[in-house]
Chain A
Amino acid sequence: MLLYLDYQRDGQPSEDDREEVEAALRGIEHAYERSGDGLLLTVSYSPAYFGRFDESLPEGVDLPDPEALAPFEDPEFDTPDAVVHLASNTAQVVLGAEEALKGNKSTLNGVDQPDATLTDVVTIADRRTGFIGDGLPAEKADEAEGVPADKVPEDAPLFMGFKSGFKKNQASEDRVTIQSGPFAGGTTQHISKLDLNLNQWYNQDDRWQREAKMFCPYHAENDVIEGAGDNLGTSSKIDDCEPTDETAREMGVVGHSQKSARARDDDDSPLILRRDFDSTDDGTASLHFLALQRRITDFVDTREVMNGTDVTEQSAVGQRNNNGILQYIRTERRGNFLVPPRSLRALPPAQPAADAQEVTYESS
C-alpha cells in the first residue's frame, strides 16, 4: 500500500513534528517483525517536500521533479510531500498498520500504540493499494473493468501473466544505495501508475506474441517459457536473445525484457530494483511500478532504453506496435522520491548534519 502524504505545516518541519512521525512509525514497527511475514515499511520524500528548505539537497542526491519519460505519454505528476510504503505477505497487516498510523488503534497485533499519530501532522492525499503473488491477479480479475474473463492464467503473479523480478535481472540493494554524503544508505524511488490494456494482450495477441513481446522472439520461437516462467529459475535467460536492434530489423518485433536489459552498468548489473505490484484501484487493471535506484537518472535511462526510440527509428518496430509491452501500458502518473536512511526517515532536512540527526532520534 502507498499512502501519499501532505505535511500540514507550511515551510520547514518542526522538531516536534519529527518526533511525532518517528514515534508513530515506531509504534507500528514494534507490532510486527521486520520481514515479509511481518511488516515492511519505507518513508520517502518528494522534490516538492525538499523545496520547503532554503538549502538544496546535497550534491550526489539526484532527485529531480518527475517528467514525462516517453514521447507518447502525458502523465500527471505526484507532488505530495511524502509516501509511506507498507508491504506484507498478509493484507490484514497492512490494513491494520494503516489504521494505527491514523490513530484508529490503541493496540496493534497486541502491542500498545503510541499517542502520536501520523495524521496529526500530515494529511493523506492519496491511497493506492495493490497485490502481487501467484494466483492473485486471476482471483481479482473481476474487480477491474476490461480484464478478459478466464484469460489471466490461474498461477500468474501479475496481470500480464508472467513472473517478473528474477534475481539476476534486478539490481542488488547495494547497487541502488546512495554511497556517500548525509543520505548515504538511502536510495531514490520512482513510482508510476501504469494502466493495462489486457483485452488486446489476451484476446487479440496469441501466446507466441505475448512471449515475444514480454521476453524476446527467441524465447517465443524456442518455447523457453512454460506458463508464468517459473521454469526459468533465477534469470530471464535474456542473454539467449539476439541483440535488440537485430531482432527489430529481422523479426519486426522486440521484447520488453530484451530491450530493458540494455540498461546495465559496467558490471552488467541492471540499474534499478523493481518492486512493482498490480492494482485494481478505481476499477482499472493497473500496475504500481515502484523502482529503487541510486539516482533517478538510472530510472530515466532504463525507461529510455525500454522506449526503444532508437530501435523504432531504424526498423519495422513501431512507437508502440511490436515494441515490447508499450502497446498495452499507459502511464497515468509519475513521482520521484528520496528514501532517506532510517535515521533520517522522519521529515528530514535537505542538508542534514548527519550525527546531530542520529542523536535526536536515539533519544526520542
Chain B
Amino acid sequence: MAGGGSFVGLAGCTDLFETQSAQAPPLPENRPDAVYYPTHYEGMEMPGMKEQSGYKCALTYSYAHRFWLMKPNGISKVEIQPEDSIHLMPVVWDTQTGIIPPDVNPQLTITQDGESVDQFAPWPMLSQPMGFHFGDNAQLRGDGTYTVEVSIGGPSTRRTGSLTENQGNASFTFEFEFSESTLNEISYTDIPDDKEGTKGAVGLMDMEMLPNSQVPTPDALPGDVRGSGTSGDAKFVVTLLDDASRFGGGEGQKYLAVSPRTPYNRTMLPMMSLSATLQRDGTSVFDEILQATIDPDLRYHYGTTVADVQSGDELTITVDSPPQTARHEGYETAFADMPDVQVTL
C-alpha cells in the first residue's frame, strides 16, 4: 500500500514537471518594447455559464501560466508554482451590452465536499488570445469535482446609459469536474522560432458563447472621430460627441473621448491614468484628467467634457500610469513606457 502510494506520487510529480516546462519555455530573445508573438498559445475549456442579476458569468480555464505584474518602474514576473494546477478565468459580462467590466473584481472560492481548497481575487489581466480577463493560477487537489463560487460586487468606474442600472452584487456557483486528462486535451500551439519574439499578435480566440473585450473600430465609434496616435504600441483613437449630457456635461458642452486599444486585436486597455491638455493657437484651453468610463456605445474609454473643440486644436494625451493589468506573454513589454500622444483635432 505504502509503496503504491509513493509510486503514484512520484509519477504525478514527473508529469507536473513536464507540463510545466512546456508551459514555460524560454522567452524569446530580444523581445521588442512592443506587442510580440509569444512562444506558444493555448486554448481553453469552459465548464459552465450562469446568469444572475443582469450579469452572465462563464467559468473558463487553461494550463497554468506565467505572467507579469506591473510596477511603476517595470514589471515583475510571476512564475508557475509547482502546486499550480490551472489558470482559472471567470469571465463576467453585462448581459444587455456584452461588456466585460474591468472594474468589477470577482472573488473566487473553490471548495471540495464543503472543504476550502483555494480562495482568491484573480488579477485583471491582458492576454492576446483571451483579451482582457480576470485570472490567476489555482491550486487544486488533483482530479475530482470542485465547487467554484464566483462573486462580484458593485462597480467602481463611472458608468453611463443602461450600464448605470447594473449596480448589484451577484454570485455564480459552478460544479467543476476537473481531470488532468481533460486539461491535457486543451490545445497547445507552438509558434515557430523565427516568428516568436517578432512584432505581431496571436488573434483573439474564437469563443462562441462569450463576448470579447474589444473596443469599436474607429469607424464604429460614436461621435466624430478626430484623429489617433500611438504610444507604447497602443493605439489611441479620439472622438468628439456633441451631446455630453450622459457624461455629466451641461447644455452645449461636448464630450471628448479617448479610446485606447491594443494593436492587432483591438482589446481594451483599462486601468490607466490618463490626462489631457488642449492647446488652441498656443494657449491652453484645458488641462484635465480623462476619467475612465464604461459606456454602452463607446465601451471602456477615458473622457472629459469640453466647452468646444475647434479644428486645428492640439490635443496632448499624457499617460500618467500605463495599464496596471497583469500581462501574459507577448504583452509584458508593451504598454509600459508610454510617452505623450499628440493629436491635431
Contact = CB atoms under 8 A, between A and B. Distances in A.
Interface of A: 70-74, 145-146, 195, 197, 199-200, 203-206, 208-209, 212, 217, 248-253, 282-284, 309, 312-322, 327-328, 330
A317 B292 CA distance: 11
B124 A71 contact: no
Nearest to A203: B81
Contacts, number: 125
A74 B321 contact: no
A284 B158 CA distance: 35
Given A209-B71, A250-B321, A318-B271, 19 more contacts: A74-B169, A197-B120, A199-B120, A204-B69, A204-B78, A205-B69, A248-B273, A249-B273, A249-B320, A252-B324, A253-B72, A253-B324, A312-B156, A316-B271, A316-B272, A317-B324, A318-B105, A318-B124, A319-B105
Nearest to B123: A321
Interface in B110-165: 116-121, 123-124, 136, 139, 151-158
Contacts of A73: 153
B107 interface: yes
B269 to A, nearest CB: 11
B121 A71 contact: no
A11 B227 CA distance: 71
Contacts of A206: 76
Contacts of A330: 107, 119, 121
17 contacts: A72-B105, A199-B120, A203-B81, A204-B78, A205-B69, A209-B69, A249-B275, A250-B321, A252-B273, A253-B72, A283-B116, A313-B292, A314-B291, A315-B273, A318-B105, A321-B124, A322-B70
B154 A72 contact: yes
A7 B154 CA distance: 36
Q: Number of contact residues on B: which range applies?
A: 35 or more
Nearest to B73: A221
Interface string B183-215: 000000000000000000000000000000000
B289 interface: yes
Contacts of A284: 116
Max chain A C-beta neighbours (<10 A), residue from B136, B139, B275, B320: B320
A312 B103 contact: yes
B322 interface: yes
B115 to A, nearest CB: 9
Contacts of B322: 252, 316
B103 A208 contact: no
A108 B121 CA distance: 46
B321 A252 contact: yes
B230 interface: no
A316 B136 contact: no
Contacts of B151: 74
Contact of A319 (B78, B156, B320): B156
B321 A71 contact: no
Contact of A71 (B155, B273, B292, B320): B155
A320 B116 contact: no
Contacts of B156: 71, 309, 312-313, 318-319
A248 B325 CA distance: 14
B171 interface: yes
Contacts of A328: 121
Given A71-B156, A72-B107, A145-B116, A200 B320 contact: no
Contact of B153 (A74, A146, A249, A318): A74
A147 B151 CA distance: 23
Contacts of A322: 70, 324
A206 B68 CA distance: 11
**10 nearest CB pairs, A to B:** A252-B321, A72-B153, A71-B154, A316-B321, A251-B72, A319-B156, A316-B273, A320-B105, A249-B273, A252-B324
A73 B292 CA distance: 23
Interface string B233-268: 000000000000000000000000000000000000
B121 A146 contact: no
B291 to A, nearest CB: 7
B91 interface: no
B189 to A, nearest CB: 26
B323 interface: yes
A239 B165 CA distance: 40
Contacts of B103: 312, 318-319
Contacts of B158: 313
Contacts of A145: 116-117
B104 interface: yes
Interface string B57-100: 00000000000011110001010010000000000000000000
Contacts of A200: 120, 123, 136
Given A72-B107, A316-B324, A252 B120 contact: no
Contacts of B102: 318
